[in-house]
């Protein structure tokens, strides 16, 4: 039995795989349909995980507001909002961000050095330490705390770290009709993967809505039939 949460990345990307522009601005290039899709995925989760850079760019998080989705969570005996989990190695966050006034439960994953600063403050209900070299321990701890399903909403460094430790089960990617190019942040940051050892995916569905494409992937496991790469 899987001891860690089932983890799904949900992100809008440009046609060239970027998640923001060169200035790391908040990505608002998705359509209303993409926003509804993101809210639907969040409504199915117990926790939403995102990096500090994502929080700084947006200043807020997406709450579940659609009445049907709220009813769905109530029927599943879930609280109205999933836990919003900020992952920050530096632990440097602005308490004045509007995120801290939103009516959502907030947790923080940070280093042991920054743990003491945020403990016993009103901004976060729970503060957890993690080892940057072992994100699997942090994700496993979230599972032990009762979070069975996680949604990851960015950024690229966090996604790369989770992929490297085989901690991502599914990806929902909305391919949007624009090209950002250059040094804009991409879906997966960091050092990257060699082709021979790169994470492989299985396409579960592809849906065209207007000029956007909604792609649903599952992470290929060793038990799956091997990919024939040519």
Tell me the pLDDT tens digit for each residue of 60-116.
999 999 999 999 999 999 999 999 999 998 999 999 999 999 999 999 999 888 888
> If we measure between CA atoms, which residue out of 43, 44, 48, 18 comes closest to residue 30?
18
Q: Is residue 225 part of a domain?
A: no
What confidence tier does 227 reach under pLDDT thresholds 50, 70, 90?
very low
Q: Is pLDDT of 42 > 50?
A: yes
Range of the domain at 135: 6-219
Residue 9 pLDDT exceeds 80? yes
pLDDT digits (tens, 9 = 90+) for 112-151: 888 888 988 999 999 998 766 678 889 999 999 999 999 9
Task: Note whether residue 224 is domain-resident.
Answer: no
| pLDDT given for residue 178 in this prediction | 97
What global pTM score does this model have? 0.93
Identify whether 1 is part of a domain: no
36 found inside a domain = yes
Cα–chain-centroid distance for residue 93? Answer: 18
Of the CA atoms within 13 Å of residue 14, those in its CB half-sphere come to 16
CATH number for the domain including 38?
3.40.430.10
Q: Give the orientation angle of helix 32-43 with respect to helix 67-75, to 10 degrees.
A: 10
pLDDT at res. 133: 61
What's the structural domain count of the chain?
1
Q: Tell me, yes or no, whether 229 lies in a domain.
A: no
User: Is the distance from CB of 86 to CB of 50 less than 8 angstroms?
Assistant: yes
Indicate whether 226 belongs to any domain: no
């Amino acid at each position: 039995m899987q001891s860690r949460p089932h983890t799904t990345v949900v992100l809008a990307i440009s046609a060239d795989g970027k998640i923001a522009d060169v200035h790391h601005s908040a990505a608002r290039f998705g359509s209303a349909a993409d926003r509804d899709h993101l809210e639907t995925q969040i409504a199915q989760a117990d926790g939403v995980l995102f990096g500090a850079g994502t929080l700084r760019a947006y200043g807020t998080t997406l709450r579940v507001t659609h009445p049907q989705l709220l009813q769905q969570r109530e029927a599943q005996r879930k609280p109205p909002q999933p836990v919003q989990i900020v992952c920050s190695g530096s632990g440097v966050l602005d308490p004045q961000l509007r995120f801290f006034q939103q009516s959502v439960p907030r947790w923080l994953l940070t280093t042991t050095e920054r743990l003491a600063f945020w403990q016993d403050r009103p901004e976060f209900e729970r503060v957890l330490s993690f080892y940057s070299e072992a994100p699997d321990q942090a994700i496993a701890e979230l599972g032990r705390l009762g979070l069975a399903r996680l949604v990851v909403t960015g950024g690229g460094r966090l996604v790369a770290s989770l992929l490297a430790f085989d901690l991502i089960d599914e990806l929902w990617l909305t391919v949007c009709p624009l090209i950002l190019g250059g040094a804009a942040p991409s879906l997966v940051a960091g050092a990257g993967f060699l082709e021979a050892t790169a994470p492989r995916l299985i396409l579960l569905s592809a849906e065209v809505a207007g000029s956007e494409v909604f792609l649903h992937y599952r992470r290929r496991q060793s038990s799956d039939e091997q990919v024939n790469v040519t």
